[in-house]
Amino acid sequence: MRTLIQNAHIVNENRQYDASVVIEDELIADILEDSTNIDKNAFDYIIDATGLYLLPGVIDDHVHFREPGLTYKADIESESRTAAAGGVTSFMDMPNTNPQTTTLQLLEQKFSLGAEKSRVNYSFYFGATNDNLNSVLQLDPTHVCGVKVFMGSSTGNMLMDNEQSLRTLFQQSPLLIMAHCEDTAIIRQNIESFKKRYKGQNDFPVRYHSRIRNTAACYASSSKAVMLAKETGARLHIAHISTADELSLFEPGPVENKRITAEAVIAHLVFTTNDYDHLGARIKCNPSVKTNDDRNALRQALNDSIIDVVATDHAPHLLKEKQGGALTAASGMPMVQFSLVTMLEMVDEGVLDIEKTVELMCHNPAKLFRIDRRGFIRKGYYADMVLVNPNHPWDVMKDRYYTKCGWTPMDEHHYKWKVERTIVNGKTAYCDGTIVDGVRGKALQFNP
């Protein structure tokens, strides 16, 4: 099938220009900056992109789609639909499901679920534990995006608290290591301190979450991970940096030249501790949102190429699970549908330019994970793209989002940018408020 996207304003590889894109089946066949002599009869389908921006599809390297085991609040089918509606054409899903993805058999079962259900492209992290290094060594670097390590407060056997096991993993992992960094001992000390101060209370107002999971807890764990990576030569990617202090651990520069990299997520780029007053536990996440100064430092780090990628940490819970305070309300929020339009809103606010946004959300994830032929609008690459309208105002309402859990902290937010169409492997997966049935993504492939 031959498709023509005509009259698009393309943002790609630090350029903005007007052109038309030719798609043949799954791949980009040509990019035509001179569209005057196009034979429109040669195409099966023509998309008029006049007035729209054409960007590479977003690659979200950090989501929790909850399948298997937690499908009452989200699953691969529902959340990949949500991703498509947000212009996200590829995702990488975390291993803390039920059961946890800590064996090769369970990992392959998730890939099978992805092939069956996902509306966009997918990969899955393998969860490292204190005693599954032999399985890590058997992972195929062309097939699996990375190894996830919880170096801080987690559940069950996902917390790696054995120092020798952790060091051995860093020394021997054949894949990139993605680390959740919060120091469990500091968090526990902070909880005990609050319990002593508020005698007889087993929970505290949610605004104290940021003082329990505080800057010290983040920095202590992140600095340990960076030290281990430097000593062992491991490829380390630290998830959801949330504090200004942690930024000193990373070097500026092109992502392809780094072995130690940093991710920011939308929650920490948008919300601050001031937002607890009106959003409460809806913005409770781990690591916690921090101060306005921290948020501003993270935003500057995007421009300085200290933070390398922007993701969501999309983590759906039912609203009833978000009831409670700093210790009892569930941590996490559904954001994958709103990541791109939120970043484009920051472009309008002057936080960063649109070329940098595309670099952080599309180009750099592809480079960092060495993804085969995705993340760019290039001839011969997979046709993963998103058309966005810079002037189509809309309000976030319940009938306009798709996450299974049925809420988002962006409820009633007013956006000017709107995702009009998402194209996955050459096929329209989402268009003008409609998820297109029958479209399925592919497993991402990597070039180690």
pTM: 0.98
Q: Are the C-beta atoms of 153 and 221 separated by less than 8 Å?
A: no
Q: Among residues 326, 103, 302, 295, which one has the least CA distance to residue 195?
A: 326
Round to whole Å and give the CA distance between 95 and 106.
10
Beta strands in 219-290, from DSSP E residues, in sequence order = 236-238, 260-265
Task: Please give the mean pLDDT across all residues of the chain.
Answer: 96
Average pLDDT for residues 285-297, to the nearest whole number? 98
Q: Are the C-beta atoms of 60 and 395 separated by less than 8 Å?
A: no
Round to whole Å and give the CA distance between 410 and 94.
23
What domains lie within the chain, and their CATH numbers? Answer: 2-54+380-396+414-435 (2.30.40.10), 58-368 (3.20.20.140)
Report pLDDT digits (tens) over 324-354.
999 999 999 999 999 999 999 999 999 999 9
- The dihedral formed by the CA atoms of 439, 125, 229 and 297, expressed in degrees to the nearest 10: 60
Determine how many CB atoms are found less than 10 A away from the CB of residue 443. Answer: 15
As given in the structure block, the two tokens for residue 14 are 């630090």
Largest CA distance in the chain: 78
pLDDT of residue 160: 84
pLDDT of residue 156: 45
Round to whole Å and give the CA distance between 319 and 5.
40
pLDDT of residue 136: 98
Report pLDDT digits (tens) over 77-86.
999 999 999 9
Is the model's pLDDT at 100 over the cut of 70? yes
Determine how many CB atoms are found less than 10 A away from the CB of residue 286. Answer: 19
Beta strands in 27-87, from DSSP E residues, in sequence order = 27-32, 45-48, 53-56, 58-63
Determine how many CB atoms are found less than 10 A away from the CB of residue 193. Answer: 12
Is the model's pLDDT at 181 over the cut of 50? yes
Report pLDDT digits (tens) over 395-428.
999 888 999 999 999 999 999 999 999 999 999 9
